[in-house]
Amino acid sequence: MTYAIYLRKSRKDDEVISGDTLSRHEKMLMDLADRMGIVIHEHDIYREIVSGESIEARPQMQRLLKAVEMRTYTAVLCIELERLSRGNGADQARILKAFQFSNTKIITLNKTYDLASDDEFDEEFFEFGLFMSRREYKTIKRRLLRGRLQSQQEGYFTGSTLPFGYGKMKNPEGKGYILVPNEQTPILQMIFRRYASGDLLADIVQDLNTAGIQTASTLNAKWSTNRVRDMLRNRVYIGEINVNKYAKNRRMEDGRIIETKRRNPDMQTVPGKHEPIIDMETWDKVQARFARFAPRINIDRSLKNPLASIMRCAECGKMMARRTYTHKGVSIPIIVCQSNRCVTRQSNLEMVENMVISALKKELERQQTILASYGNEKQDNSDDKTLEFLQAEIAKKDKMMERVDELYELGDYSRSKYLERSQKLQAQKADLMKQLEEIEKRISERDNNRKNAVPILTKVLDEYHTLDVKGKNDLLKMIIETITYRKHESGSDIEPELCFKLLI
């Protein structure tokens, strides 16, 4: 019998308890396991560091559920039911189903839940507990959001990432944080002065990266023109606070809700409690310069690059972009690297597009040859041999566990020796099952790719030239994961080196 521990810290822990909550909870559950005569190994302890609402946002819960569904554990120990889920009804139903049909118990400090038993009380108590947990979570979330908005309206900083040039200090008069200048402030002021005096954004970015100056948000991240442009437009530097800077954008894909953040067009600014570090004269010069470059016509936002989000620069890793230049009155589309001063050279977009189609035609011929010989010629069956080996090893472990049970029933094994031996075998079997699952998935993908490669490639090549640019891009994304672009010599007739990573 094998047991696991699931640990997750909640918002309530941050508000009420100081110190390392996960370590405290782990000790409490290990003490409980000792009292019950349960041995729990390190690899069976799932420590959730992130505080996600849904199962998708909690990687350790995903690992645990997969193990439970494979009937790896006899029971899972946790502090309380609420630690398992505060997600929506679908998440709670998935957890209930996993524990119920795998006959895995849930052991808390106060109660043991057997969801697979004939007694429906445990199941009802479980569902009610998760329902109340969800209600409590929503109440806490609404309270935190109201408090955050109120603090912003009063001029306090509530963001998780500090703006470059500012640190923060606790408000000496009460709750909330106030922005204060730090060692980055002179650099921020230099950036504003340089742009106000006419320097190009690209030159400022290049100098910042050359000097090795760190950005505010990410360690070792490179400066970019977009990052600097956003800083130059941020009113926090003139003593204001942004209220509701971001808005949530929710959409449904394949039955799942995808949530992303976007800039809120209705964002407001209020006077902040902090002191400005940019004077109004410099600020006005910077904004006036931006206004001169503001577009005065409607821009066609439709996709014009069939290789968008597919082709990357081999040197810097950035996506290649479509640009145009005019030659003798004719506008010619080209593909270029977006990184400043990258050594990668541009190419004619039509030439690169034809190279991609030509490479896909060759791949189609190769796949047709493979399909014609599939089943007649000996294929690489290393995965199949590994599959047979794993299946045989799992069968051996099952027989060994049966023998351990038999020896325990005959009295040849003490309880402690039986628990130690059986748990060791269960852990070894779980590891073999995990390897087996990966091999089966790889074999399935290999066989599906062999069957689907030819019809998919044929569809792409037959329909490609009948579609608009977005249709071409969608079609290529069906079969291409990424293309690496490399070119060091200038010249419109020099072809780049393309390296493909296909989805088949």
pLDDT, tens digit, for every residue of 332-363?
999 999 887 789 999 999 999 999 999 999 98
- In the numeric block, the tokens 């819960």 are attached to 61
| pLDDT of res. 373 | 67
With a pLDDT cut of 90, the percent of the chain lying above it is: 30
17 pLDDT band, cuts 50/70/90, is: very low
Flag whether pLDDT at 322 surpasses 80: yes
Average pLDDT estimate for 65-72: 90
Q: How confident is the prediction for the chain on average, in pLDDT?
A: 82
Q: Which of 7-21, 128-142, 170-184, 265-279 has the lowest mean pLDDT?
A: 7-21
Give exposure, 246-267, as e/b (b: 16+ Cβ within 10 Å): eeeeeeeeeeeeeeeeeeeeee
3-152 folds as Rossmann fold (3.40.50)
322 closest CA partner among 309, 345, 304: 304
Per-residue model confidence (pLDDT) at position 336: 93
Question: What is the tens place of the pLDDT at every residue in 159-171?
Answer: 777 889 998 888 7
Environment class of residue 157 by beta-carbon count within 10 Å: exposed (0-12), middle (13-18) or buried (19+)?
buried
Q: Quickly count: other Cβ atoms within 10 Å of residue 195's Cβ.
A: 22
DSSP H or E stretch at residue 195: helix 185-196
Model confidence pLDDT, tens digit, residues 386-440: 888 888 888 888 888 888 888 888 888 887 888 888 888 888 888 888 888 888 8
Q: At what angle do helices 185-196 and 280-292 cross, to 10 degrees?
A: 50
Q: Which residue would you say has higher pLDDT here, 42 or 504?
A: 42
Average pLDDT over residues 354-381: 76
Name the phi and psi angles at 50, rounded to 5. -75, 155
Round to whole Å and give the CA distance between 192 and 208.
Answer: 13
pTM, two decimals, is 0.43
Q: What is the pLDDT of residue 374?
A: 59
What is the rounded (10 degree) CA torsion for 251, 255, 259, 260? -60
Q: Between vectors from CA 332 to CA 326 and to CA 338, what angle results, nearest 5°?
A: 95
- How confident is residue 84, by pLDDT bands cut at 50, 70 and 90? confident
User: Is 87:54 a contact under the CB 8 Å cutoff?
Assistant: yes
Class of residue 464 by CB neighbours under 10 A (exposed 0-12, middle 13-18, buried 19+): middle
Better pLDDT: 247 or 421: 421
Q: Which two tokens stand for residue 189?
A: 């002021």
* Three-class SS of 383-428: HHHHHHHHHHHHHHHHHHHHHHHHHHHHCCCCHHHHHHHHHHHHHH
Confidence band, pLDDT 50/70/90 cuts, at residue 131: low
What radius of gyration do the chain's Cα atoms show? 30
pLDDT bracket for residue 16 (50, 70, 90): very low
What are the extents of the domains in the chain? 3-152, 166-292, 302-504
Taking only the tens place, the pLDDT of each residue in 461-482 is 999 999 999 999 999 998 899 9
User: What average pLDDT does this structure show over 22-31?
Assistant: 90
CATH 3.40.50.720, applies to 166-292: no
Q: Which residue has the tokens 């709750």?
A: 175
Closest CA to 148 of 244, 9, 237: 244
